[in-house]
Amino acid sequence: MWPKIAAYLLVINLATFIAFAHDKQRARQGGWRVREDNLLGLALIGGSIGAVLGQQLLRHKSAKQSFRTALQVIIMIQIGLLIGFTIL
């Protein structure tokens, strides 16, 4: 079971980082953007590490406070769930 979970997390975090990179590129070119809801949705389903790396390494969505706050809430919920599952 753990190898499948690890593979899922690797794939979803890579996909999230790629989505951040794509959105950053589209922002520079003035093209259609990736919706913030989609970026946060990817973080919510396990891509929060990829989202944080995308923010930090690409300097994307790092200045928008509402986005940062939403991402921080998602991360806190995930940490809470992780702690809850390890206690059980």
pLDDT tens digits, 56-83: 999 888 778 999 999 999 999 999 999 9
In order of 3, 4, 6, 57, 75, the CA distances from 20 in angstroms are 26, 24, 21, 10, 17
What local confidence, expressed as pLDDT, does residue 78 receive? Answer: 96
pLDDT tens, 2-46?
Answer: 899 999 999 999 999 999 999 999 999 998 999 999 999 999 999
32 secondary structure, DSSP code: P
Kindly report the pTM of this predicted structure: 0.90
CA pair distance 75, 55, nearest whole angstrom:
14
Residue 10: the pLDDT is: 97
CA angle, 19 as apex, 30 and 2 as ends, to 5°? 175
* Rounded Cα gap, residues 14 and 12, in angstroms: 5
Q: What is the pLDDT of residue 87?
A: 86
